[in-house]
Amino acid sequence: MVSLLLAVSILAAVGRLALLATLHIVGRAHYSPIKHAVSDYAVGPTHTLATAMNVVTAVLFAALAAVVWWGYPHWALHATTTAYLVALSTIFLILPALPTDLEGEQATLTGRIHLLAAITWFALSYTLTGRFSELLAASNNSFAGVLHALNMIAMLSLIALIISLLPPLRPHLFGITERVFILAISTFFLLLPVALVIEPTWSAH
């Protein structure tokens, strides 16, 4: 059961990265990777692709939640980690119904809720990279070092992202810092199930 869930996680993670790349290729005439947030791609001609990416991401986190629930019942962080993953899955399922406010437009209630959801998924996903890095390090998994490095990249890019929100910096840095963070997180959650398939550890927990 856990092996099947990990396979689903890998497929979903690959799908997320592929759709993320496709969004930037298809949307390059309408959006700038420097000036626009990734969530802007959900508003306009790339809406369908962005929705597909959100749904695939929801599947990814739901599958990982099931992996933790059934595969690591004795892990001290078992319950909260499962809850965080379920929360992430839920956020990505509802994001298509919460379009962001584009730069320069008047703020709306939906846009504010979207911003709150985005902040929550950034915080939860970063927290989980730290937890899973420690879990794999404790079991001497060969991927632990790479995952720790991605966790550090996510931390540094998240700090840079927050700094880039300053008005003088936002037009020049926000899009880049956000994409570095998202790419680090997306790569982490691809390599995590790969690591657990190649070197299974769930039976030891």
- What digits encode the pLDDT tens for the residues 64-97? 999 999 999 999 999 999 999 999 999 999 999 9
- Work out the number of other CB atoms within 10 angstroms of the CB of residue 19: 20
For the chain, counts of helices (H) and of strands (E): 6, 0
- What digits encode the pLDDT tens for the residues 109-133? 988 999 999 999 999 999 999 999 9
Confirm if 101 and 128 have CB atoms less than 8 A apart.
Answer: no
Which pLDDT does position 204 carry in this prediction?
44
- How is residue 12 written in tokens? 């979903």
Q: Can you tell me which residue has the tokens 């078992």?
A: 78
Prediction pTM value? 0.94
Distance CA 50, CA 55 (A): 9
The size of the chain, in residues, is 205
Distances in Å between the Cα of 110 and the Cα atoms of 55, 101, 105, 186 are 19, 8, 13, 25
pLDDT band at 187 (very low <50, low <70, confident <90, very high): very high
What share of the chain in percent tops pLDDT 90? Answer: 78
Whether 58 shows a pLDDT value over 90: the answer reads yes
pLDDT band at 186 (very low <50, low <70, confident <90, very high): very high
Which pLDDT does position 203 carry in this prediction?
61
Distance CA 26, CA 146 (A): 31
E strand or H helix that includes residue 117: helix 109-138
User: What's the Rg (C-alpha) of the chain?
Assistant: 17
End-to-end distance of the chain based on CA atoms, in angstroms? 15
Distance CA 139, CA 14 (A): 25
E strand or H helix that includes residue 6: helix 2-26
Residue among 39, 59, 46 nearest 103 (CA): 39
The full set of domain ranges for the chain reads 2-204
Confirm if 192 and 185 have CB atoms less than 8 A apart.
Answer: no
Distance CA 153, CA 175 (A): 16
E strand or H helix that includes residue 141: none
